[in-house]
A and B are shown apart, each in its own frame.
Chain A
Amino acid sequence: MPRAGLITAENNSDIDLEFTGDEDEVSTFQEELERGRHRGRRRDGDREKKKRGNRRRKGASKETVEGEEESQNRLEKRERRRKRAKRHQEARGRERDEEEQAKIKSGKKAKTRKKVKNEKTRKVEEKEEEEGEAGERNAKGKMKHGGAKREEKKEDGGKHTVKEKAQEVKKKKHKTVVETSSEEEMSEEANEDNEEEEKELRPESLSPEELENLKEAVDERKKLIQSLRGKPWPMKKKLVTLRESQEFVEKYEGALGKGKGRRLYAYKVMMSKKWMKFQRDFENFKTVCIPWEMKIKEIESHFGSSVASYFIFLRWMYGINMILFGLTFGLVMVPEALMGRPYGSISRKTVPRAEEASAMDFAVLWDCGGYAQYSVLFYGYYNSQRAIGWLKFRMPLSYFLVGVGTVAYSYMVVIRTMARNSNESGGGDDNSFNFSWKMFTSWDYLIGNPETADNKFASITTSFKEAILEEQESHKDDNIHLTRFLRVLANFLVLCCLAGSGYLIYFVVRRSQKFALDGLDTHTWWERNEVNMVMSLLGMFCPMLFDVISALENYHPRVALQWQLGRIFALFLGNLYTFIIALMDEINLKREEEMIIKYNISMWEASFYNSSVSGNSTAPPVIIQPADVPRGPCWETMVGQEFVRLIISDTMTTYITLLIGDFLRAVLVRFLNYCWCWDLEAGFPSYSEFDVSGNVLSLIFNQGMIWMGAFYAPCLPALNVLRLHVSMYLQCWAVMCCNVPQERVFKASGSNNFYMAMLLVILFLSTLPAIYTIVTIPPSFDCGPFSGKKRMFDVIAETLESDFPAWFGKVFSSASNPGLVLPFILLMVLAIYYLQSTSKSYKEVNVELKKKLQAQNEENKKKNKRAALKAQTDLEEARNATSQTAQQQQETDGDEKHASRQRLHHGTTGHNPPPPDHERRPLATRAPVPRPYHHDNHGTPGYLPGFSQQSEPRLYRVPSLQRH
């Protein structure tokens, strides 16, 4: 307990320190208030307080109440009043009105003194609250909070003897006025309070209305507890508030509800507590589960948020790929491996005789041939058996649904993330705050590296200078024709590059088909891997070329970056699509081949059948090894293989560029620098920077290839998870050990949705060919889960027919007829149109509201000024009125300057007329006021009657000043 008290004390002092400007005022109010409270909480009694409370409540509710602070205030006021009422009741009986009481009972000196004092205190309290509100309106929320909180604290503090004492201690510490009530008295009272409190705790003695109030109070406290973390208070204050609120809630929660309901209520409360704790633990658990947090944090502090954003993006990708991997692995690969027919049982699951010798060679396996080709990794291995194993697992259906599911899931995730991002960025659409944003939000607080900080300083300075220049002279291009010409030229060059790279890929793919027809063994390694290598090399060198070309254009760096990204995007996309087109050619070739083979096989089977029939019929049927059975080319596996090769070579190139371009360069620069003619570190080669946009782009394209090929090679997601995992570590290491911070440190968040949008485009473009092949090309006749069907999606119809009741199939088929589908599509289009138009109108309303807000602000400002003027004149009058009394008073006063000043503040606030509208309060309280009189503060009961009498009429007089 003493500890808690100590905290309160220190806490208050802290708060006071915070509000340098208004410190004095605040603390004095506080003192007053406290005193009032101590006196107010003396007596017991129950009856009248309700009535009083109600009356007061009305009064209180008249005041504008905003936020929970206010409600808190109100609540406390109410309680205080109740107590005061109690006291009056016990002391004097049953008067209705306090003012009346004051008059009637004026004979009873002591009581009246207290009463008057109390009255004054109340006034002051109200003042303080007003002050608080004013503070808030003056954009000094902290002040307000301070006021409210302190009151509350005292409220609770009063209930505990020790705390009260602590507050006493605090009082002394602040060297403030301790008057009228001595400490001994205080502690006595506190004891009384405790007894009183015991009584209050009995729920039976409370009327329903009080219960209602109590419930309200408890709810308010709960709300307070929840919102506490969002409050800009120092921790101590929050701690004290939390503890007290919790205590309050715990104490009174039990009192709520009656009989049976009570137990239920208690149970509910307990459960909600448990649930909260569980939620918190779960949150903790979730954060533990986020991988690489520390790594990313380290990078963040070295390179700022933009480089870190790449790694966060990488981690996000990793998460998505984990789920894709889980789907394909759990629902396709594992069931097939466990329950499907084993290897070697049928021809599609066996390496053909001709390849058997080399099937285990590393070169072949690396090329996804041999045993790798005839395994669960590729489409061709799967059997078309409808149900496999004792689970009767519907393999083909599962295969199809997983293929569709991965795409659907990816769409969902990407779109959801985009929506969330755009929500977060909110209304960052207009650039009406261009300068202010540069000023207030340009520093990246994550930067913890001096070098990065220096770069950031430089970039901020240039951005300031640029902005100023732009503002000064919007456009001053002296040679616009040259710039235009250069830009056209640059675009032309870029287009040439794109076309050239496209043609190169097409050429290479066609050539590789020729090689493949000849047989792979006759060609060198280069010829076999030409396609992938060319694609990777193009992806590596073309961006550099673009970079050189973009120097011609003389764009603003941000615009230049966007152009660069757009061009690389186009390059990758072009390459990918050329690749796909070439692949389509190959598929068609394979299908022609398949037709021939199919014919041959039927001939072969027929001849085989004939020979066995024509021979001895009693001879045992000749068993043909599955390895010897002739088979089709299985274009699906071929597609899958192509994608796997592409991914592998892409990964390899990335890693090798990383090692050579970054690591080797860093090593050379670092060590050759000792014996070189110029400064390598500062001069030409220097260290490399981390290329965020390029890396993000390659990540996105890599993902696109995964989406495209995953249907034909279920192993792709697994491969990608592996790749991402390795790149996470490798790139983290590389970035920390061989890169230098960027010279222009860009902010990440602005481009986040840009990357997401690219990912969405890629997702769409990569699912397009996959869906096209699934829908239009008939599957191979002798491999894969859909063999023997006309189209792959026939598996759905088959399942509907055989696994569902007949009516279901009927409903499905009637639902899928064009008569229903077309209206449905129309409806969707209409819905989209409707939503779009509503969003547009919302935007308009937004703009309108913004205008209104600005207008209102201006008006408020004017009003405030007027109010301030009026208040000033009022104050002048008040000053004149009190100047004489002040002179008298000055003589009685002597030494203590500080205390007297504090006292004065009471005077000033007491002076202030309670203004009719709230707008004027802040100014009124702040207006300069003379300090005409002093007050003896020696805490003896030797209270100055003269003063109290003098101060009271003043309190009533001032409003009257206001009136005329």
Chain B
Amino acid sequence: MGTTASQIGKDRLAEYQELTFLTKQEILLAHKKFSELLTKDERDLQNIRVPMETILTLQELKSNPFRNRICHVFSTSDIKNGSLTFEDFLDLLSAFSDSATLEIKSHYAFRIFDFDDDGTLDCGDLEKLVNCLTGETDDTRLTSEEMRQLISNILEESDIDKDGTVNLSEFQHVISRSPDFVSSFKIVL
């Protein structure tokens, strides 16, 4: 398939560098990884979509409890199947890169946690979030009483305007003061 550099094209590469927090090497690496997910004849096509299932075979995403959400958030697919184009993939990596700002990271984190895509984190979202964090097995799952307690504590802390949900600005307010959000909200290829 030749060199990856020739595939992207110089102008494109420059634009991608301008638009993402990634360096040239990272973009090329991303392209390489992305191409590996495609079959031979798919590689020649422009704007090919890789289905979510294939994306999730990547090592970086395999063990992530939010992997489906991440794909859905970054996907620009019309039918919301979580499939990613290369550009979506770059968006993903850019948001998760080392040098991305807190603002953009928290924005995407919010959208990842917003399971029902309604723009706020309500009780249902929080519950799903807790279940994601505690894993699928029964012995790590919280009891319903604990869950209720936990969610009420969280709302107590972060829901500043007391409307029963956490909205983006409240979320960002909470996140921005956290010491280790930026360092852990990272995916590196």
Q: Which residues of B contact A14 (CB under 8 A)?
A: 76, 78
Which one of A301, A430, A441, A460 contacts B180 once the chains associate, using CB atoms below 8 Å? A441
Which one of A20, A434, A749, A857 contacts B161 once the chains associate, using CB atoms below 8 Å? A857
A139 CB-CB contact with B under 8 Å: yes
Q: Which residues of A contact B150 (CB under 8 A)?
A: 435, 439, 464, 467-468
Q: Convert B64-104 into 0s and 1s, putting 1 for each residue whose CB lies closer than 8 angstroms to a CB of A.
A: 11100000001011101000000110110011100001011
B15 CB-CB contact with A under 8 Å: yes
Of A236-244, A574-582, A771-779, the one contacting chain B is A236-244
Q: Convert B27-65 into 0s and 1s, putting 1 for each residue whose CB lies closer than 8 angstroms to a CB of A.
A: 000000000000000000000000000000001111111
- Asked if A468 and B104 sit within 8 Å, CB to CB, the answer is no
Given the interface pairs A428-B179, A457-B133, A861-B161, the reply to whether A141 lies near B184 with Cβ below 8 Å is no
- Asked if A232 and B88 sit within 8 Å, CB to CB, the answer is no
- Asked if B64 and A21 sit within 8 Å, CB to CB, the answer is no
- Asked if B64 and A447 sit within 8 Å, CB to CB, the answer is yes
- Least distance between B8 CB and chain A CB atoms (Å): 13
A542 CB-CB contact with B under 8 Å: no
Q: Convert B159-183 into 0s and 1s, putting 1 for each residue whose CB lies closer than 8 angstroms to a CB of A.
A: 0111100011111001111111111
A220 CB-CB contact with B under 8 Å: no
- Least distance between B20 CB and chain A CB atoms (Å): 6
- Asked if A442 and B133 sit within 8 Å, CB to CB, the answer is yes
A430 and chain B: residue at smallest CB distance: B177
Q: Which residues of A contact B66 (CB under 8 A)?
A: 443
Docked CA distance A440–B177 (Å): 12
B187 and chain A: residue at smallest CB distance: A445
- Asked if B119 and A460 sit within 8 Å, CB to CB, the answer is no
- Asked if A441 and B184 sit within 8 Å, CB to CB, the answer is yes
- Asked if A433 and B134 sit within 8 Å, CB to CB, the answer is no
A514 CB-CB contact with B under 8 Å: no
Given the interface pairs A234-B76, A242-B15, A857-B161, the reply to whether A447 lies near B87 with Cβ below 8 Å is no
Chain A residues 285-303 with CB under 8 Å of chain B are 287-288, 297, 300-301
- Asked if B107 and A232 sit within 8 Å, CB to CB, the answer is yes
- Asked if B187 and A468 sit within 8 Å, CB to CB, the answer is no
- Asked if A21 and B119 sit within 8 Å, CB to CB, the answer is yes
A446 and chain B: residue at smallest CB distance: B186
Q: Which residues of B contact A225 (CB under 8 A)?
A: 18
Of A448-456, A624-632, A658-666, A793-801, the one contacting chain B is A448-456
- Asked if A749 and B183 sit within 8 Å, CB to CB, the answer is yes
Of A419-427, A731-739, A896-904, the one contacting chain B is A419-427
Given the interface pairs A140-B119, A428-B178, A445-B64, the reply to whether A433 lies near B19 with Cβ below 8 Å is no
B152 and chain A: residue at smallest CB distance: A435
Q: Convert A217-238 into 0s and 1s, putting 1 for each residue whose CB lies closer than 8 angstroms to a CB of B.
A: 0000000010011111011101
| Residue of A228, A235, A468 contacting most chain B CB atoms (<10 Å) | A235
- Asked if A424 and B184 sit within 8 Å, CB to CB, the answer is no
B156 and chain A: residue at smallest CB distance: A435
Which one of A242, A425, A439 contacts B19 once the chains associate, using CB atoms below 8 Å? A242
Q: Which residues of A contact B129 (CB under 8 A)?
A: 439
Docked CA distance A452–B62 (Å): 12
Q: Which residues of B contact A436 (CB under 8 A)?
A: 154, 157-158, 174
A471 CB-CB contact with B under 8 Å: yes
Docked CA distance A234–B76 (Å): 7
Q: Which residues of B contact A239 (CB under 8 A)?
A: 15, 19, 87
- Least distance between A439 CB and chain B CB atoms (Å): 6
B7 CB-CB contact with A under 8 Å: no
Q: Convert A148-179 into 0s and 1s, putting 1 for each residue whose CB lies closer than 8 angstroms to a CB of B.
A: 00000000000000000000000000000000
B115 CB-CB contact with A under 8 Å: no
Mostly helix, strand, loop or mixed at chain B's interface? helix
Q: Which residues of A contact B23 (CB under 8 A)?
A: 283-284, 287
A462 and chain B: residue at smallest CB distance: B140
A305 CB-CB contact with B under 8 Å: yes
- Asked if A441 and B117 sit within 8 Å, CB to CB, the answer is no
Given the interface pairs A234-B76, A468-B146, A471-B153, the reply to whether A860 lies near B161 with Cβ below 8 Å is yes
- Asked if B135 and A458 sit within 8 Å, CB to CB, the answer is yes
Given the interface pairs A229-B94, A239-B15, A443-B184, the reply to whether A139 lies near B169 with Cβ below 8 Å is yes
Which one of B25, B63, B88, B162 contacts A449 once the chains associate, using CB atoms below 8 Å? B63
Q: Convert A734-757 into 0s and 1s, putting 1 for each residue whose CB lies closer than 8 angstroms to a CB of B.
A: 000000000000011110000000
Q: Which residues of B contact A243 (CB under 8 A)?
A: 15
- Least distance between B27 CB and chain A CB atoms (Å): 10
Given the interface pairs A141-B107, A440-B174, the reply to whether A229 lies near B19 with Cβ below 8 Å is yes
Q: Which residues of B contact A454 (CB under 8 A)?
A: 135
- Asked if A242 and B63 sit within 8 Å, CB to CB, the answer is no
Q: Which residues of A contact B77 (CB under 8 A)?
A: 17
Q: Which residues of A contact B187 (CB under 8 A)?
A: 445-446
Which one of A277, A450, A748, A854 contacts B160 once the chains associate, using CB atoms below 8 Å? A854
Which one of B65, B80, B180, B186 contacts A747 once the chains associate, using CB atoms below 8 Å? B180
- Asked if B157 and A432 sit within 8 Å, CB to CB, the answer is yes
A280 CB-CB contact with B under 8 Å: yes
Docked CA distance A468–B134 (Å): 14
Docked CA distance A236–B162 (Å): 37
- Asked if A232 and B135 sit within 8 Å, CB to CB, the answer is no
- Asked if B177 and A427 sit within 8 Å, CB to CB, the answer is yes
Given the interface pairs A235-B90, A750-B180, the reply to whether A464 lies near B146 with Cβ below 8 Å is yes
- Asked if A426 and B87 sit within 8 Å, CB to CB, the answer is no
- Asked if A301 and B163 sit within 8 Å, CB to CB, the answer is no
B1 CB-CB contact with A under 8 Å: no
Which one of A139, A287, A471 contacts B167 once the chains associate, using CB atoms below 8 Å? A139
- Asked if B87 and A242 sit within 8 Å, CB to CB, the answer is no
- Asked if A433 and B185 sit within 8 Å, CB to CB, the answer is no
Which one of A229, A234, A467 contacts B88 once the chains associate, using CB atoms below 8 Å? A234
A138 CB-CB contact with B under 8 Å: yes
- Asked if B160 and A433 sit within 8 Å, CB to CB, the answer is no
- Least distance between A917 CB and chain B CB atoms (Å): 18
Docked CA distance A369–B189 (Å): 49
Q: Which residues of A contact B107 (CB under 8 A)?
A: 141, 232
- Asked if B78 and A464 sit within 8 Å, CB to CB, the answer is no
Q: Which residues of B contact A232 (CB under 8 A)?
A: 95, 104, 107-108, 111
B158 and chain A: residue at smallest CB distance: A436
A593 CB-CB contact with B under 8 Å: no
A13 CB-CB contact with B under 8 Å: yes
- Least distance between A296 CB and chain B CB atoms (Å): 9
Q: Which residues of A contact B104 (CB under 8 A)?
A: 230-232
- Asked if A441 and B178 sit within 8 Å, CB to CB, the answer is yes
- Asked if B178 and A857 sit within 8 Å, CB to CB, the answer is no
- Asked if B130 and A439 sit within 8 Å, CB to CB, the answer is yes
A674 CB-CB contact with B under 8 Å: no
Q: Which residues of B contact A228 (CB under 8 A)?
A: 18-19
- Least distance between B85 CB and chain A CB atoms (Å): 8
- Least distance between A849 CB and chain B CB atoms (Å): 13
B3 CB-CB contact with A under 8 Å: no
Given the interface pairs A236-B76, A434-B157, A854-B160, the reply to whether A447 lies near B178 with Cβ below 8 Å is no
Q: Which residues of A contact B180 (CB under 8 A)?
A: 441, 747-750
Q: Which residues of B contact A681 (CB under 8 A)?
A: none
Q: Which residues of A contact B113 (CB under 8 A)?
A: 440
Which one of A287, A453, A468, A854 contacts B149 once the chains associate, using CB atoms below 8 Å? A468
Q: Which residues of B contact A138 (CB under 8 A)?
A: 119, 167
A884 CB-CB contact with B under 8 Å: no
Which one of B146, B175, B185 contacts A445 once the chains associate, using CB atoms below 8 Å? B185
- Asked if B186 and A425 sit within 8 Å, CB to CB, the answer is no
Q: Which residues of A contact B176 (CB under 8 A)?
A: 426
Chain A residues 909-961 with CB under 8 Å of chain B are none
Q: Which residues of B contact A457 (CB under 8 A)?
A: 65, 133-135, 137, 140
* 10 sampled A-B residue pairs with Cβ under 8 A: A14-B76, A139-B170, A230-B101, A235-B19, A300-B188, A432-B157, A447-B64, A457-B65, A457-B140, A860-B161
Known: A229-B19, A439-B130, A439-B150. 14 other contacts (CB 8 A): A232-B107, A232-B108, A280-B14, A287-B23, A424-B182, A435-B154, A436-B158, A437-B181, A441-B175, A445-B96, A446-B184, A461-B135, A461-B141, A467-B150
The 3 closest A-B pairs by CB, nearest first: A457-B135, A235-B87, A139-B168
